[in-house]
Structure 1
Amino acid sequence: MKIMIDAGHGKDTPGKRSVDGMKEYEFNSAVASKLKELLMLFEGVSVMFSHSDSSDVPLHVRTSRANSANVDLFVSIHANAHGNGRTWTSAEGIETFVYQTKPKEAAELAAKVQEELIRATKRKNRGVKAADFYVLEKTKMTAILCECGFMTNKEEAALLRTDAYRALCARSIANGIASYYSLKKKKQTPTSTLYKVQVGAFSQKQHAINLAKELKKKGYDTLVVNE
């Protein structure tokens, strides 16, 4: 399964920031990176990004990348805003969007991801909604867009800044995707255990060296350590 993750906007997108100055891309890209890390733990999954840390990738380029790569799923990560963006408002919560005419699969996946986000974060559930956002309309595959909290809500803006909340959002989205598509975790290769034996402890270094020589004659690797 090929998945494209889209961290909305860019580092220098005008106006896309919290009332107290956090750029939305800081949140979006952090969640995207963690989400990729989590999704790569599943069998048969490959993940790519539509965005870039070095530039604000235009929307048509993002969707073109997804369509050209023939990915199975497009997931766009965002933080929400209300009002003029310069003052705190009471709007709060999380919502997940799909395109109005996309297949049933998108709505079902969005519902699962939304469920996981609300369960984990305990934020207000604003539900799954249909919208004509460009990245949802122009992508040819199943696509969802997650709004993970309001930058214009003082409480949620504080959460959006934290590594813990970012990781929580990423894990929730990954859990929703994994659950919906019945993804299986990769089997971890067991690590071999190394056992060590210490022979002798001396106050004089020469005694340790002499013993090490004797052990080497008998075929044992030795190491003299000064503690």
Structure 2
Amino acid sequence: MVKIFIDPGHGGTDPGAVGNGLLEKNLNLKIARKISQMLVNEYEGVSVRMSRTGDQTVSLSERTNNANSWNADFYLSIHINAGGGTGFESYVYTTVPTRTKNLQKVIHEEVLKQVDFRNRGMKQANFHVLRETKMDALLTENGFIDRSKDANLLKNDTFLEKIARGHVNGLVKAFQLKKKQTPLPPSDGEAPQWYKVQIGAFRIKKNAEALAERAKKAGFDVFIVKE
């Protein structure tokens, strides 16, 4: 079983980049949900978790700690760029093994096969989500929210589907995932529906952690979210 941890950047009180009537946090979540849906519905031998499934505030350390405690095989962080440029770029940590660079190359190339974005290159950076993850990790910047050309593409759900498909194709190639004989039907082009069950709310963090630990021992997947 290949375990893929998908991290839609920002969220909640952190909108990320803003421009042309768009919020980065919303685009990140849309793309991440589509990637998750495609992987789970279409491929076997893959398990997916997300750092957030809604508009939640999740710290960087919570994101990487959750991925590390789950023993994920790969960490994929989805972002939208800003700063007046245009196009697609991807990042790995500043010092990584050849294996990680190869994974970056495969996914980078597959995304660009799907979308009409300028290739800004495969890069390295000292980002928290790349530095503090124990598994191979990649961060992608999918267009510029403050460039009207890119933003107009990002407003199109079909284009977001293509971005997601590029990431999925890269993951499939990198981890040699096999197609399901009978894929689950897509939800009419909409993002997958998520159903959450809350089992506790606490003012004191250690009380939340104690309940979370009991739930883990009982076999449940657990996330602590600060409201």
Do Structure 1 and Structure 2 share a fold, with TM-score over 0.5? yes
**TM-score for the superposition, normalised by structure 1:** 0.76
SS of 2:22 mapped into structure 1: coil
Pairing 1:1-227 to 2, within 5 Å after superposition: 1-14=2-15, 16-40=16-40, 41-82=42-83, 90-188=84-182
Separation in 1, partners of 2:115, 2:56 = 30
Cα contact 1:97–1:146 (8 A) shared by 2: yes
User: Once the two structures are aligned, what percentage of the paired residues are identical?
Assistant: 39
CA positional deviation for 1:172: 0.3
Runs of at least 5 residues in structure 1 that lack an aligned partner in the other structure: 83-89, 190-227
SS of 2:178 mapped into structure 1: coil
Cα contact 2:17–2:81 (8 A) shared by 1: no
1:57 maps to amino acid: V
Deviations along 1:96-138, one digit per CA (max 9) or x if unpaired, are: 1000112222211111111111121121101110001100000
Deviations along 1:178-210, one digit per CA (max 9) or x if unpaired, are: 012211111218xxxxxxxxxxxxxxxxxxxxx
Aligned match of 1:210:
none
1:31 maps to amino acid: I
Cα contact 2:6–2:78 (8 A) shared by 1: yes
SS of 1:2 mapped into structure 2: strand
Cα contact 1:18–1:157 (8 A) shared by 2: no
CA positional deviation for 1:20: 2.3
Separation in 2, partners of 1:184, 1:52 = 25
SS of 1:30 mapped into structure 2: helix
Aligned match of 1:201:
none
Cα contact 1:80–1:150 (8 A) shared by 2: yes
Runs of at least 5 residues in structure 2 that lack an aligned partner in the other structure: 184-227
Cα contact 1:96–1:145 (8 A) shared by 2: yes
Divergent runs of 4+, >4 A: none
SS of 1:172 mapped into structure 2: helix
Cα contact 1:98–1:136 (8 A) shared by 2: yes
CA positional deviation for 1:18: 3.0
**TM-score for the superposition, normalised by structure 2:** 0.76
Cα contact 1:5–1:75 (8 A) shared by 2: yes
After superposition, the CA RMSD in angstroms is 1.6
CA positional deviation for 1:52: 4.1
**Bigger CA radius of gyration:** 1
Cα contact 2:81–2:142 (8 A) shared by 1: yes
Q: Identify if the C-alpha distance between structure 1 residues 181 and 102 changes in structure 2 by more than 3 Å, giving closer, same or farther.
A: same
Separation in 1, partners of 2:88, 2:178 = 27
Separation in 1, partners of 2:76, 2:162 = 16
1:184 maps to amino acid: K
